[in-house]
Structure 1
Amino acid sequence: MKASGGIKHEILRWLRISDEPTVKVYRGYVHEQKVVVFGHVLRRSPMPRQKYRQNFWVNSLSLLRLFMMRPVSGATVKVNGIQKDVRFTTEKDGFFRLEWTSDEPVAPGWHPVKVDLITENLGPEKPVATGEGEVYCSYSTQYGFVSDIDDTFLISHSANLRKRIHVMLTENAHSRDPFDDVVKHYQLLARAGTDASAPNPFFYVSSSEWNLYDYILTFCEKNDMPDGIYLLSQIKRFREVWKTGQNKHVTKFARIVRVLEAFPEMKFVLLGDDTQEDPNIYTSLVQHFPNQICCVYLRRVHKENEARTQGFVDQIVAGGVPCCYFKDSAEAIRHSARIGLVEKSEVKEE
């Protein structure tokens, strides 16, 4: 038995996979002094990638490692470093969501947060593991932005599962490409009605799984996308790799609703594409929140979906909300200038 355990440990070490309890804390947010933190408890998880090189086998293995996770259900987590006893028992997939109201006003910007995994035997003073993350308290800005990820700013081929899997296996977070001018557009939107010292908040809501959190975060940081909060889909196991990005989209609708309800004073802009269900979801959101959503952007990616998408675009416009169904981000930038979202002086009209 020891030999078997030793071999297993060596294989995991070679794969750079931790077999120790891990608390994975994602970026959370603050609204009206209520702090929201979420994450996963895992008993097996991949270690962060350290080097990036363009090699098929290295990239494939690195991607597959992200799905070699084993979540822990029924585990107790507790917020570290605050007097309130804020705890949560993890769900079936190891997910937790902690919420509490801060006794002191929270300043705008990013703030560190820690979450402990505790047991009744050791007590909260001796956590089994501790995870670190951040929460974002938005500035008092007029706008907030909700953006999809795949095929909205990250070229992903979501409409073709074979191509999507191929690009994920052969590329990495450093070699993947954003669409032309999309970074410029998002940077302009981050300053819409404000400036770089008090940027608008971004919420990246995707059907991609939490397995890809570090991958997506690394891509966004490398390409200078605006900092934001990531709200992804339920974690998948290794046997489900081929289903990546194919989650039920009703949960995406619910995640966006939660954001809109948390920030009722903000006007939101929705950004998505026509490869999956963004047009349908965004049309429903406009119908439910007509006074809160001020514009919708949909990237034209999948030709077979153009007629269907145009029907949703017509519904959004009929509801009194501007909608830009565009092929290139330069077109979306010009639209943002025309409706006053961004400064015209920063945009070249063609």
Structure 2
Amino acid sequence: MAHWKNVFTRIASNADDKFDKLKFRLRQRLNQLGPVMILPYRGFGNANEIYLKGRVLKDKGILTAEDNDTVWQNLLATYKRFASVEIPHVRVRAHFAGETQEVVTDKEGYFEVRIKPKEALPIAQAWHEMELELLDQVDPRQEVVKATGFVVTPTIGSQFGIISDVDDTILQTNATSLVKAAQLTFLNNARTRLPFEGVAAFYRALQSGPNSSLFNPIFYVSSSSWNLYDLLVDFCIVQGIPKGPFMLRDLGVDVGQFIKSSHHNHKFDQIKLIMETCENLPFVLIGDSGQHDPEIYLEVIKTFPKRIKAVYIRDVSQDIRDASVQDIIIKAKELGVDMLLVPDTVAAAKHAAGLQLIDPEILPDIQAEKEEDEQAPSPVEQIISGE
């Protein structure tokens, strides 16, 4: 059985590659590759090394979402995101902290930059700029193609980091229901999607720490596609959720596996990369019970002993799932880590205040924001969500 699965995967991967090459050559012959854009994803690092991922794509002109966007406009924007035209095998030059590196995009237009600055980065500065420039001519009408990427590093005032899931943790997606998840993905935008109640205030409190004056970096790890990156960034801006790098997933076909990486493997690998890069920081982990966050986080606790301060799991699943989550909670406790299955953000915030992870005086603000978020959605939101 495994043999035939590998054969099928190899055939699917080869077919996918050949089809992409044919499409690219046709567009190239018809001069339909431009305009071209560099899309840098937020990166991260430490004082000695930084990492940034990005992609070179045809610019399809996806506009910033508005409150009154129609369902058709949202559907069209989502189609443009997933029908991306990647630019493979072109050179991108990166400038960062006096260092220059040249990288080449892979077959799907992705590139990765890893730079070790000769001079240590400022210990009081959290965000740093990276200048990117496309070196190859892709379209006859192409002018200079540049972009600015941003990289976050812990500062001298960082006491811990926060790693958060996205779907059903900060963003209501109903990931356990394929129909509802698809409806939210394709018919909503950054302004009509709803956050979980009080999450923005809680995350701001975690970022500020126990005396409200620190900077604790936040990372978002999700199995969502990279094609949704701009939507997730806009969502956090609109909702006032602290900015941080997003670690998303390529959903293409590859040799050896039908999907690039499984939900479990992807999330664990990205968390491992974050924690190995920010090697001097302990972390708070936040997720939900709908998929496999408790199992993944238990593995993280085992892999990085004494590096996890607390784990908060939002209870979004049926009661039958709660029993298995409770077993994992017991195992985490035996390893010296509090993993809580919480009904809402306020419960997590109260525990965090008790551990001196956040300022207790902010608890009323988190409660107030939770109550405000719980207010009934507008008529437009009700129509869009089908309620």
TM-score normalised to structure 2 length: 0.77
SS of alignment partner, residue 218 of structure 1:
helix
> What is the alpha-carbon root mean square deviation over aligned residues?
2.9
Q: Which residue of 2 aligns with 1:233?
A: 249
Q: From the superposition, tell whether residues 247 and 61 of structure 1 become closer, same or farther in structure 2 (CA, over 3 Å).
A: farther
1:20 CA drift (Å): 2.5
Q: Which residue of 1 aligns with 2:128?
A: 111
Q: From the superposition, tell whether residues 296 and 307 of structure 1 become closer, same or farther in structure 2 (CA, over 3 Å).
A: same
Equivalent positions of 1:136-151 (< 5 A) are: 136-140=152-156, 141-151=158-168
Q: Which residue of 1 aligns with 2:345?
A: 329
Distance 2:316 2:161 in 1: 24
Equivalent positions of 1:9-24 (< 5 A) are: 19-24=34-39
Q: Could you tell me whether the CA contact under 8 Å between 1:280 and 1:312 is conserved in 2?
A: yes
SS of alignment partner, residue 269 of structure 1:
strand
1:195 CA drift (Å): 3.1
Answering whether residue 101 of structure 2 is matched by residue 101 of structure 1, we say no
List runs of 5+ in structure 2 lacking aligned partners. Answer: 1-25, 368-387
Q: Could you tell me whether the CA contact under 8 Å between 2:96 and 2:115 is conserved in 1?
A: no
Q: Which residue of 1 aligns with 2:200?
A: 183
Equivalent positions of 1:157-176 (< 5 A) are: 157-176=174-193
1:308 CA drift (Å): 2.1
SS of alignment partner, residue 179 of structure 1:
coil
- Alignment deviations for residues 307-350 of structure 1 (CA, whole Å, 9 cap, x no partner): 22222222111211011111111111111122222233333599
Distance 1:194 1:35 in 2: 28
Q: Could you tell me whether the CA contact under 8 Å between 1:138 and 1:201 is conserved in 2?
A: yes
Pairing partner for 1:204 from 214, 220, 227: 220
Q: Which residue of 2 aligns with 1:273?
A: 288
Equivalent positions of 1:275-294 (< 5 A) are: 275-294=290-309
1:128 CA drift (Å): 5.9
Distance 1:319 1:287 in 2: 8
1:51 CA drift (Å): 4.6
Q: Which residue of 2 aligns with 1:240?
A: none
Q: Could you tell me whether the CA contact under 8 Å between 1:297 and 1:332 is conserved in 2?
A: yes
Q: Which residue of 2 aligns with 1:300?
A: 315
Distance 2:48 2:61 in 1: 33
Answering whether residue 54 of structure 2 is matched by residue 39 of structure 1, we say yes
List runs of 5+ in structure 1 lacking aligned partners. Answer: 13-17, 238-242
Q: Could you tell me whether the CA contact under 8 Å between 2:74 and 2:188 is conserved in 1?
A: yes
Q: Could you tell me whether the CA contact under 8 Å between 1:204 and 1:231 is conserved in 2?
A: yes
Pairing partner for 1:50 from 30, 51, 64: 64
Q: Could you tell me whether the CA contact under 8 Å between 1:269 and 1:294 is conserved in 2?
A: yes
- Alignment deviations for residues 78-112 of structure 1 (CA, whole Å, 9 cap, x no partner): 21477644122222322111111112332212222
Q: From the superposition, tell whether residues 247 and 292 of structure 1 become closer, same or farther in structure 2 (CA, over 3 Å).
A: same
Q: From the superposition, tell whether residues 300 and 82 of structure 1 become closer, same or farther in structure 2 (CA, over 3 Å).
A: closer
| Greater alpha carbon shift after TM alignment, 315-324 vs 106-115 | 106-115
Q: From the superposition, tell whether residues 307 and 127 of structure 1 become closer, same or farther in structure 2 (CA, over 3 Å).
A: farther
SS of alignment partner, residue 91 of structure 1:
coil
Distance 2:102 2:206 in 1: 36
Answering whether residue 83 of structure 2 is matched by residue 68 of structure 1, we say yes
The sequence identity of aligned pairs, in percent, is 27
Distance 1:110 1:33 in 2: 14
SS of alignment partner, residue 135 of structure 1:
strand
Distance 1:50 1:298 in 2: 32
Which structure carries more helix by proportion? Answer: 2
Which amino acid is the alignment partner of residue 278 of structure 1? D
Distance 2:295 2:305 in 1: 15
Q: Which residue of 2 aligns with 1:256?
A: 271
Distance 2:324 2:273 in 1: 27
TM-score normalised to structure 1 length: 0.85
1:268 CA drift (Å): 0.3
1:21 CA drift (Å): 2.6
| Greater alpha carbon shift after TM alignment, 209-218 vs 45-54 | 45-54
Which amino acid is the alignment partner of residue 221 of structure 1? I
Q: From the superposition, tell whether residues 22 and 54 of structure 1 become closer, same or farther in structure 2 (CA, over 3 Å).
A: closer
Which amino acid is the alignment partner of residue 231 of structure 2? Y
Q: Could you tell me whether the CA contact under 8 Å between 1:79 and 1:116 is conserved in 2?
A: yes
Distance 2:155 2:98 in 1: 26
Answering whether residue 146 of structure 2 is matched by residue 130 of structure 1, we say yes
Which amino acid is the alignment partner of residue 280 of structure 1? E
- Alignment deviations for residues 12-37 of structure 1 (CA, whole Å, 9 cap, x no partner): 9xxxxx83232111111230231222
